[in-house]
C-alpha cells in the first residue's frame, strides 16, 4: 500500500493513536500518508461507493492514477475531505474498523483533515455563523416572529444566500420566543415523581429542541415523569458538533469542556444524562472521550444515553410504564413510518424509538434506514443543498410509499428535511409516547 503507516493512525486504537496534542496529528505529510493508506484500502473494497459523495470522488481520483494513490497530493484529495459530512454510516458498514489490524475510521480521518485545513487556511465567516447555535438560538428567540417571517421572504433569502451561503430554497428551523429551558423552569417547580424507586436523570435538550422545538422537550419530560424519573435541566452549552463539522476545534473544545464540567457534577450526584437528539448523544458518547482523553469525559460517556435507549433499558428491567390510554392510537393512527437516523445507527444500539412505539397496542411500525441528507448544515448551504436532496431521495420515497399515518424521526434536522420534501411533518418518538399516555 502506498504511504502505509504500520499500525495506523486512528484515534480509536488505544494502543497506537494520534491524539490532537501530538505534533504528528497536525503534520501535513503525516496526514497525507495516513490518507493514502486508508484510501488505498477503501478503493480496494468499495463497499461504501453509494454513501456520501466522498467515496465516488475518491474512487474517481484513484482510477485516474490506476490505484497508485502515492501520486495524489493533499490538494488532489481535498474534495474528498470537503464532501464528507460526518454521517458515520461508512464506519457502521466498514469491515476494517478496530480491532481489525487495518484500523480504519474514515470519518475521524476526515475530521482530522478539517482541523488541519482550518489551522492552515482559517475558518470562513459562514462556517462560524452557522456553527454558533447557542448565539443564533438566543438572537432568533428574541426576534422570533420577525425571524420566522423573514425566513419566508424571498428577497431576504436571496440576500442571506449571497451573504452567508444559506440556500434560498432550504427550509430553516423556526425559533420560539420561549426556549425549552424557560418553559421547563416555569412549568416544573418540582420534577420528581412519587414512589420509592426514583430514577434521577439530567435532561440535555440540545440546541435544536431548546431554541427551535420546545414541544419535543416538554414531551420528553412528561414521558420521563410518567416513568418515575426525577428530571433536572442543568447548565449546558451546544454539544460542539457544529464546530467540529466546520473544523473549529478551539471553539468546539470550549463547549465540550464546559459541558463535561457541568454534567460531571450531576453524575457524581447519581444522575444519568439523557439526550433526545442522536447527533448530540453520539458526540458526547464518542467524540468527547477521544478529544479530551480525560477520566471525566469517559465517565460522562458511560452515563450518557439516548432517551429512547434509556427508556428501553427500563423496559428490559420491567420498569417501563406501558399503560397507554389514548384511544386514538390503534384506530386513527395505525401505521407509523420510522426514520432511523444515521447518528443513531452509529451508536450500535438498535432503533429503540421504533421499538417503544411498537409497544403501543394497534400500532404497526415500518422502519426506514436511509440518510435524510441534511447532516448538520449541509441541508442549508448553497453548494450542498441540491446534493442533500439527492442523498435523501431514498428516504423521502420510502416514507411516501409507506402510506403511513404518521412519520417519526429522532433527528430534528431530518424532520425539517422530511417536511420540506414530503409536506408531512415528522415528530419525535417521545411525542408519540406522550400522546399515547394521555387519556
Of 21-25, 266-270, 415-419, which gets the smallest average pLDDT? 21-25
Residue 320 has pLDDT above 70, yes or no: yes
Q: Which residue has the higher pLDDT, 246 or 15?
A: 246
Confidence grade of residue 2 (pLDDT, cut at 50, 70, 90): very low
Please, what's the b/e burial string for 227-250 (b: 16 or more CB within 10 A of its CB; e: otherwise)? bbbbbbbeebebbbbbbbbbbbbe
Residue 333: predicted pLDDT: 84
Residue 237 has pLDDT above 70, yes or no: yes
Contact assessment for residue 332 and residue 405, using Cβ atoms and an 8 Å cutoff: yes
Phi–psi pair at 240, nearest 5 degrees:
105, -10
Residue 238 has pLDDT above 50, yes or no: yes
At 341-365, the pLDDT tens digits run: 999 999 999 999 999 999 999 899 9
Q: What's the whole-number mean pLDDT along residues 391-399?
A: 95
CA distances from residue 358 to 185, 280, 321, 418 in whole angstroms, order as listed: 32, 25, 14, 22
Q: Where are the domains of the chain?
A: 23-121, 125-164, 180-316, 335-437
CA distances from residue 18 to 236, 300, 404 in whole angstroms, order as listed: 29, 22, 47
The helices-and-strands tally (H runs, E runs) of the chain is 25, 8
| Mean pLDDT of the residues in the chain | 90
SS3 of residue 210 by DSSP: helix
Confirm or reject CATH 3.40.50 for domain 335-437, answering yes or no: yes
Amino acid at each position: 500500500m502506498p504511504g502505509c503507516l504500520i499500525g495506523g493512525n486512528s484515534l480509536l486504537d488505544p494502543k497506537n493513536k494520534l491524539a490532537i496534542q501530538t505534533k504528528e496529528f497536525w503534520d501535513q505529510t503525516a496526514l497525507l500518508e495516513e490518507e493514502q493508506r486508508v484510501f488505498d484500502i477503501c478503493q480496494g473494497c468499495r463497499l461504501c461507493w453509494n454513501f456520501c459523495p466522498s467515496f465516488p470522488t475518491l474512487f474517481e481520483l484513484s482510477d485516474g492514477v490506476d490505484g497508485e494513490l502515492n501520486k495524489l497530493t493533499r490538494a488532489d484529495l481535498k474534495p474528498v475531505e470537503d464532501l464528507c459530512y460526518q454521517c458515520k454510516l461508512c464506519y457502521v458498514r466498514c469491515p476494517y474498523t478496530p480491532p481489525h489490524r487495518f484500523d480504519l475510521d474514515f470519518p475521524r480521518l476526515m475530521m482530522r483533515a478539517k482541523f488541519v485545513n482550518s489551522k492552515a487556511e482559517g475558518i470562513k465567516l459562514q462556517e462560524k455563523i452557522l456553527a454558533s447555535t447557542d448565539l443564533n438560538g438566543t438572537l432568533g428567540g428574541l426576534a422570533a416572529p420577525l425571524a420566522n417571517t423573514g425566513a419566508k421572504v424571498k428577497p431576504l433569502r436571496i440576500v442571506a444566500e449571497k451573504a452567508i451561503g444559506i440556500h434560498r430554497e432550504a427550509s430553516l428551523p423556526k425559533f420560539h420566543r420561549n426556549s425549552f429551558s424557560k418553559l421547563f423552569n416555569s412549568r416544573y417547580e418540582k420534577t420528581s415523581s412519587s414512589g420509592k424507586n426514583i430514577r434521577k436523570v439530567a435532561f440535555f435538550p440540545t440546541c435544536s429542541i431548546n431554541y427551535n422545538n420546545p414541544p419535543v422537550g416538554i414531551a420528553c419530560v412528561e414521558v420521563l415523569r410518567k416513568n418515575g424519573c426525577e428530571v433536572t435541566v442543568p447548565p449546558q452549552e451546544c454539544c460542539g458538533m457544529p464546530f467540529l463539522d466546520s473544523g473549529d476545534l478551539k471553539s468546539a473544545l470550549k463547549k465540550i469542556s464546559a459541558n463535561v464540567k457541568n454534567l460531571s457534577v450531576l453524575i457524581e450526584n447519581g444522575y444519568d444524562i439523557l439526550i433526545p437528539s442522536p447527533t448530540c448523544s453520539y458526540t458526547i458518547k464518542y467524540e468527547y472521550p477521544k478529544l479530551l482523553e480525560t477520566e471525566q469525559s469517559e465517565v460522562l460517556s458511560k452515563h450518557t444515553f439516548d432517551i429512547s435507549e434509556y427508556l428501553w433499558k427500563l423496559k428490559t428491567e420491567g420498569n417501563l410504564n406501558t399503560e397507554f390510554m389514548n384511544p386514538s392510537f390503534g384506530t386513527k393512527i395505525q401505521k407509523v413510518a420510522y426514520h432511523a437516523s444515521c447518528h443513531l445507527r452509529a451508536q450500535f444500539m438498535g432503533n429503540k424509538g421504533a421499538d417503544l412505539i411498537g409497544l403501543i397496542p394497534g400500532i404497526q411500525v415500518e422502519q426506514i434506514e436511509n440518510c435524510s441528507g441534511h447532516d448538520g448544515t449541509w441541508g442549508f448551504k448553497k453548494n450542498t443543498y441540491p446534493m442533500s436532496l439527492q442523498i435523501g431521495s431514498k428516504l423521502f420515497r420510502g416514507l411516501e410509499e409507506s402510506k403511513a399515518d404518521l412519520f417519526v424521526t429522532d433527528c430534528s434536522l431530518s424532520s425539517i428535511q422530511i417536511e420540506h420534501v414530503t409536506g408531512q411533518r415528522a415528530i419525535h418518538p417521545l411525542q408519540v409516547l406522550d400522546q399515547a399516555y394521555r387519556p
